[in-house]
Structure formats: C-alpha cells, structure tokens
Amino acid sequence: MLYLVGRQSPVSAREVARLLAGALPQAQRVEFAELGHMGPITHPQRVNPLIADFLQRHCAA
C-alpha cells in the first residue's frame, strides 16, 4: 500500500494521517513537505510519477 501525506494539509487531515500510519505499519508512507491534502489534484506532476512507479513495482502482471 502506498500512503501519501501532505504536510500542508489541515490539522484534522494530518491527525487522521497519523492515526492511519499507526494502523497501517506495512504501508509505504511518503510525505510531501510542500503539498496539502489535495496534492494529487493540485500537483499531479509531483505525485503521479511516484504512484506510477509504485504500481509498476507492486502490480506487475
């Protein structure tokens, strides 16, 4: 599982992220210091390559 976090997200979203990180210890967590909660929408050029790489490594047929 790939778990993306934006450090500029609202406090409530960051707290949910913290709780989920504890519940998903095997997830690959990536934090983007410069992005917020909607990073995949607002900065797809930064996020999409990471998602594509993850999928290639973990979902190969």
Q: What's the CA angle centered on 8, arms 29 and 19, to 5 degrees?
A: 45
Rounded Cα distance between 35 and 26, Å, is 23
How many CB atoms are closer than 10 A to CB 39? Answer: 19
- pLDDT grade for 10, boundaries at 50, 70 and 90: very high
For residue 5, with 0-12 CB atoms within 10 Å meaning exposed, 13-18 middle and 19 or more buried, which class applies? buried
pTM over 0.95: no
Q: Say how many domains are in the chain.
A: 1
Residue 6 structural domain: 2-58
Q: Are 35 and 47 in contact (CB under 8 A)?
A: yes
pLDDT per position as a tens digit, 29-61: 899 999 998 999 999 999 999 999 999 999 875
